[in-house]
Amino acid sequence: MEIRIDDRKKIAFPRINHYDYAIRYIVEQGLEAKFVLLPPATKETTELGTKYSPDYACAPFKHSLGSLIEALEAGAEVLVETGGLCRLDYYGELQKEIIRELGYRCEFINLAEYMGGKKKEWLKLARQLNPKLNPARLAAGVYEGVKMAECMDEIEESYFKHAGFEAEGGSFKKVYRQFLLEMQIAENKNEIKAGYQKAKQAFAELPLKIPENPVRIGVVGEYFTIMDEHSNQYLQEKLVRLGASVYRFMNVTNCHLRAKASAFLPKIKEYAQYSMGPTTTWTIHAALDYAKRGFDGIIHVKSFGCTPEMDAIPVLQNISRDYHIPVLYLTYDMQDSDTGLDTRLEAFYDMLERKKKVLR
Amino acid sequence: MGENHTIGIPRGLMAYREGVLWKNFFENLGYPCVFSPKSDRRILGQGTARAVDETCLPFKMYLGHVMELKGKCDVIFIPRMGGFTTREKMCTRYEALPDLVRNIFRDEHMEVLSVSYDWYDRTTEEKVYLELGMSLGSTRKEAKKAYNAARKKQETWRKAKEKGQQQLLETGKTKVLLSGHPYVIHDAYMGGEITGILEKMGAKVLYSDYVEQGSAMKRSYEFSRVMPWLINREIAGATMLMRKKVDGIVLVSAYPCGPDALVNDMLIRRINGIPVLSLTLDAQSGTAGVETRIESFIDIIKYQKAGGYGNQN
């Protein structure tokens, strides 16, 4: 009998909602290494992250640190942290230091060091992760992984738009869950495509019961907290359960695969002359768009201490005044309980519904 | 804008670092400048009333200064600073500054003079000031002359400060390094209080931004290759350079400063063998708490100097 030894490196990345599946696809199919796919985050993840982070580091720092520590416990050998245009750029360096201090032994790759670098450097990094790398396979894997993210964004968007109006309770959720499961185990582009088409078809066939006064809510805000369901305590899901149709511009497709943020600047010049921060242009543009399209309300989501999003608030206040659209501001830190959030969302939803019935 | 228009400069944020340059540049072009008065509790109070709760203390103070200038000048100078290179950026609040002020004071119709630069523009300081000068209606040549003269003044001012600090190092008294953003440690209401308390206890106060800038920047790249913030680089570099020359370090940060939250955590891990006090300033009205902490910190320094807690290693 032949003994097969898996000598692929075990790579882990901090959780970011279902994008984990796309990252897994890129790592396993493109890089041909092993990806440590973590189970959904729990209270313990939060506690781990909070315990070892500086006090007023932003919530995404704590969430990703918690994820990385859990990945190490699950056997990861290589940790990857990304960089960005705000504090995110410094996450990697500090997390590396914290993890070393905790006594873990692992390779730590800080993508902030590679950002804006040459293609050659990236290829060298890929070779370091898998010496037997096939560059053509990697390119195909990255392309298909990104495609998967795009498919997930589209299905997710459709889910939150319609699930609030479903005729039969739970029918949308069932399709959506099945779709995510298929993405989680997809191994080639045909499987991605099949899963996507199946979900799209199923959504189109599900009966809807649109109320007399449907409430449409736009969600805007900070990149990580708004996308990661665990971080925002399933905000969109909660709104859907209340019966609202929820829109969110911010996702990987809209932010990285479509027009650049600077392309939106002329549209918001009434409120901002310059780019006010890495995600602020998207936030302001999306909010203004929702206001102009006659949405009933906007929810602004951010983690505590997120400077760029904090700076969007005065602008949103002005938009709210100009277009008479209510805005609910939510700031997340590392809360355990979500009863407070429930109460606020219910009150907000009731107010919007009432406003619609009485005033229009 | 006409000849006799007055330009107002809020005494907050980067005015503590580049104020001399700004003032001289505008005056060389023929515009009189007016600074807002020194920070006090009233200014902070009026700024806080207009700011989003969570914003940092220096920004609230800055808003107070902007309000202070209302009616005293024709236009308020608020530049948009993004930094010049990828690893020497500014906090994102500086990218938002002019738009923030415009949005917050929308109903007051404040005239804002601004110039914008960002790290991805690949521009230089000179180009930025030429653009600013030309937007005010002067010729390229005039703007260049004004900038060069102002730059020289700024350099002389810096050199004098650096030299003064160098001389302080030679005194035998207890020396404490105050490390933090210039607009925190030199602000009369924020850092001023701390300096006052330290001096009252007989310590000489040194500032992280008066350490020789070139060598501090160089040292900061040894501290971290990827750290993206210019001012934090200066603070970290200066602190690492001075840690053997002073008796104690006070790391001052204003609540809730984004970059400081991460970098100071790293700094404390890297500074060894010298007492460090990490102070986070908030809008408290009393100084008794800070006083107690500084007092015990000075006691620790004195105790260590006298042989202290046994073996120093």
| CATH code of the domain covering residue B13 | 3.40.50
For position A102, what pLDDT does the model report? 94
Q: Could you tell me if A84 and A30 lie in one domain?
A: yes
The residue out of B101, B124, B154 marking a domain boundary is B154
Same domain, B83 and B204: no
In the DSSP assignment, the letter for residue B55 is S
Domain co-membership, B217 together with B142: no
Q: Which of B154, B187, B210 is the last residue of a domain?
A: B154
3-state secondary structure chain A: CCCCCCCCCEEECCCECEHHHHHHHHHHHHHCCEECCCCCCCHHHHHHHHHHCCCCCCHHHHHHHHHHHHHHHCCCCEEEECCCCCCHHHHHHHHHHHHHHCCCCCEEEEHHHCCCCCHHHHHHHHHHHCCCCCHHHHHHHHHHHHHHHHHHHHHHHHHHHHHHHECCCCHHHHHHHHHHHHHHHCCCHHHHHHHHHHHHHHHHHCCECCCCCCCEEEEEECHHHHHCCCCCCCHHHHHHHHCCEEEECCCHHHHHHCCCHHHHHHHHCCCCCCCCCCCHHHHHHHHHHHHHCCCCEEEEEEECCCHHHHCCHHHHHHHHHHHCCCEEEEEECCCCCCHHHHHHHHHHHHHHHHHHHHHC
Does B174 lie in the same domain as B146?
no
pLDDT score of A157 more than 70: yes
* DSSP secondary structure letter of residue B229: B
Note whether residue B160 is domain-resident: no
Chain A residue whose CA is closest to B224 = A93
What is the spatial distance between Cα A161 and Cα A169, in angstroms, rounded to a whole number?
15
Count of beta carbons in the 10 Å neighbourhood of residue A49: 26
Position A334 pLDDT exceeds 90: no
Interchain pair A113, B225: CB under 8 A? yes
Beta strands in B86-213 (DSSP E): 88-89, 112-113, 116-117, 175-179, 204-207
Minimal C-alpha gap between A284 and chain B (Å): 12
Instruction: Determine the Cα–Cα distance for residues B212 and B100; give it in Å rounded to an integer.
Output: 33
| Residue B137 falls in which region: left (phi positive, over 0), alpha (psi -120 to 50) or beta | left
Q: Which of A142, A136, A148, A168 minimizes the C-alpha distance to A26?
A: A142
pLDDT, residue A358, reads 83
Give the CA distances from residue A241 to residues A216, A272, A327, in Å, rounded to whole numbers and listed in that order.
13, 35, 20
Q: Which amino acid is residue A286, in one-letter code?
A: A
A306-319 pLDDT tens trace: 999 999 999 999 99
Q: What is the pLDDT of residue B255?
A: 86
Least confident range of A112-126, A184-198, A283-297: A112-126
> Which residue in A59, A55, A52, A70 sits closest to A13, CA to CA?
A70
For residue B141, the 8-state DSSP code is: H
Cα distances from B49 to residues B43, B45, B59, B184, in angstroms, run 10, 6, 12, 20
For residue A122, pLDDT over 70 is answered with yes
* Domain final residue, candidates A133, A160, A183: A133
Is the same domain home to A192 and A223?
no
- Contact assignment for A311 to B91 by CB distance below 8 Å: no
Question: Cβ B256–A314 below 8 Å, yes or no?
Answer: no
Q: What is the pLDDT, as a whole number, of residue A117?
A: 79
Instruction: Please say if the pLDDT value at position A136 is more than 50.
Output: yes
Q: Which of A89, A113, A304 sits opposite B54 (nearest CB)?
A: A304
| Count of alpha carbons within 13 angstroms of residue B47, beta-carbon side | 27
Q: Looking at the structure, do residues B127 and B262 belong to the same domain, yes or no?
A: no
pLDDT over 50 at B309, yes or no: yes
Q: A196 and A121 in one domain? A: no
Which of A164, A186, A210 lies at the terminal end of a domain, its last residue? A210
Domain that holds residue B191: 169-311
Give contacts of A314 with chain B, Cβ < 8 Å: 52, 100, 103-104
Q: B227: which chain A residues are within 8 Å (Cβ-Cβ)?
A: 90, 93
Q: Which of A54, A101, A315 lies closest to B262 in CB terms?
A: A54
Do the domain assignments include residue A139?
no
Asked if residue B166 has pLDDT above 60, the reply is yes
The CA distance from B192 to the nearest CA of chain A, in Å, is 24
> Is the same domain home to B149 and B173?
no
Residue of A nearest to B101 (CA): A314
Cβ contact A56–B86 (<8 Å): no
Residues A126 and A30 in one domain: yes
DSSP character at residue B9: E
Q: Is residue A5 included in any domain, yes or no? A: no
Residue range B81-104: mean pLDDT, rounded: 92
Residues B76 and B215 in one domain: no
Q: Which whole number is the average pLDDT over A225-244? A: 93
| B2 is a domain residue | no
pLDDT tens by residue, B216-247: 999 999 999 999 999 999 999 999 999 889 99
Contacts (Cβ under 8 Å, ≥6 apart) of B214: none
Q: What is the residue-averaged pLDDT of chain A?
A: 92
A141 lies in some domain = no
pLDDT tens per residue across span B11-24:
999 999 999 999 99
Partner-chain contact B99 A83, CB within 8 Å: no
Q: Establish if B80 belongs to a structural domain.
A: yes
Residues B195 and B89 in one domain: no
Quote the tokens at residue A196: 């996507």
Residue B242 makes CB contacts below 8 A (sequence gap 6+) with B177, B206, B208, B211, B249
Average pLDDT (A200-222) is: 93
Mean pLDDT of A233-242: 94
The 10s digit of each residue's pLDDT in B246-285 is 999 999 999 888 899 999 999 999 998 899 999 998 877 6
CA distance A261 to A356: 33
Q: Could you list the residue range(s) of the whole structural domain that residue A120 is in?
A: 10-133
**Largest Cα–Cα distance in chain A?**
77
What count of Cα atoms within 13 Å lies in the side-chain half-sphere of residue A2? 3
Nearby residues of B144 by Cβ (< 8 Å), 6 or more positions away: B126, B130, B133
pLDDT in tens, B28-39: 999 999 999 999
DSSP B232-248: HHHHHHHHHHHTTTSSE
Q: Can you tell me the distance from the alpha carbon of B186 to that of A2, in angstroms, rounded to the nearest whole number? A: 72
A94 and chain B in contact, CB less than 8 A: yes
Close Cβ partners of B29 (under 8 Å, ≥ 6 residues apart): B133, B136, B138, B142, B143, B146
**A34-84: pLDDT as tens digits:** 999 999 999 999 999 999 999 888 899 999 999 999 999 999 999 999 988
Number of compact structural domains in chain A: 3
Examine residue B163 and state whether it is found in any structural domain, yes or no.
no
The average pLDDT across A280-303 equals 95
The C-alpha of B199 sits at a distance from chain A's nearest C-alpha, in angstroms, of: 30
- B52-63 pLDDT, tens digit per residue, is 988 999 999 999
* Assigned domain for A140 exists: no
Q: Which of residues 215-274 of A touch B (CB under 8 A)?
A: 271-274
| Terminal Cα distance for chain A, rounded | 76
Query: End of a domain among B126, B154, B182?
Result: B154
Quote the minimal CA–CA distance from A63 to chain B in Å.
Answer: 15
Mean pLDDT of B172-190: 92
Partner residues linked to A217 by β-bridges: A246, A297
Determine, for residues A275 and B95 on separate chains, whether the beta-carbon distance falls below 8 Å: yes
How open is the CA angle A226-A228-A230, to the nearest 5 degrees? 115
Number of independent structural domains in chain B: 2
Q: How confident is the model at residue B313 (pLDDT cuts 50, 70, 90)?
A: very low
Give the separation between CA A15 and CA B292, rounded to whole angstroms: 43
Residues of chain B found within 8 Å of residue A268, distances taken between Cβ atoms: none
Q: Are residues A127 and A244 in the same domain?
A: no
Report if residue A229 sits inside a domain. yes
Whether residue A252 sits in one domain with residue A294: yes
Residue with tokens 């902007």: B66
Higher pLDDT: B249 or B3? It is B249
Residue of B nearest to A94 (CA): B266
A344 in a structural domain: yes
Considering the domain architecture, whether residues A47 and A95 belong to the same structural domain is answered as: yes
- Residues of chain A in contact with residue B99, where contact means CB-CB under 8 angstroms, are 271-274, 276, 315
For residue B262, the distance in angstroms to the closest alpha carbon of chain A comes to 6
A307 contacts on B by Cβ (under 8 Å):
91-93, 258
Residue B311's pLDDT is 53
Q: Count the Cβ atoms, other than its own, within 10 Å of residue A342.
A: 14
Burial grade of A340 (CB within 10 A; 0-12, 13-18, 19 or more): exposed
- The answer to whether B256 touches B285, Cβ cutoff 8 Å, is no
Q: Do B54 and A92 touch (CB under 8 A)?
A: no
Output the pLDDT for position B2: 55
Quick one: pLDDT band at residue B86, thresholds 50, 70, 90?
A: confident
Are B142 and B264 contained in the same domain? no
Q: Which of A170, A185, A210 is the last residue of a domain?
A: A210
ipTM of the complex: 0.91
On whether any CB of chain B is under 8 Å from the CB of A280, the answer is yes
CB contact under 8 A, A272 and B103: yes
Give a yes or no: residue B159 inside a domain: no
Confidence check: pLDDT of A246 > 50: yes
**What is the structure's pLDDT at A360?**
60
Distance of alpha carbon B276 from the chain centroid: 20
Interface test with B, best of A311, A317, A332 (most B CBs within 10 A): A311
Q: What's the pLDDT at B1?
A: 54
Domain check: are B23 and B105 in the same one?
yes
Distance between CA atoms of residues B102 and B109, nearest Å = 8
**Do A25 and A102 reside in the same domain of the chain?**
yes
Residue A46 sits in the same domain as residue A112:
yes
Contact flag B54-A318 (C-beta cutoff 8 Å): no
User: In this structure, are A275 and A296 located in the same domain?
Assistant: yes
Q: Sort out which chain A residues have CB atoms less than 8 A from B272's CB and list them.
A: none
Give a yes or no: residue A142 inside a domain.
no
B94 in the same domain as B62: yes
Q: Do B226 and A113 touch (CB under 8 A)?
A: yes
Asked whether residue A3 is assigned to any structural domain, the reply reads no
Identify whether B164 is part of a domain. Answer: no
The pLDDT of residue B3 is: 58
Which residues from chain A sit within 8 angstroms of residue B93, using beta carbons? Answer: 277, 307, 311
Residues on chain B touching A315 (C-beta within 8 angstroms)? 99, 103
Return the amino acid letter for B265: D
Residue B21 maps to a domain: yes
Asked whether residue B140 is domain-assigned, the answer is yes
Contact B265 A94 (CB under 8 A): yes
Q: Are A331 and B53 in contact (CB under 8 A)?
A: no
* Shortest distance, CA B196 to any CA of chain A (angstroms): 27
> What percent of chain A has a predicted confidence (pLDDT) above 90?
80
A105 shares a domain with A58: yes
Q: Is the pLDDT of residue B312 over 70?
A: no
Q: Name the one residue in this structure whose structure tokens are 């730590």.
A: A108
Assign A7 a pLDDT band (cuts: 50, 70, 90). confident
Map tokens 């107010």 to a residue.
Answer: A351
Q: What would the mean pLDDT of A294-322 be, rounded to a whole number?
A: 94
Same domain, B215 and B244: yes
B24, B137: one domain: yes
Is the separation of the CB atoms in A225 and A304 below 8 Å?
no
Mutate to test the interface with A, among B54, B123, B131 (most CBs of A within 10 A): B54
Partner B contacted by A311 (CB < 8 A): yes
Same domain as A105, residue A169: no
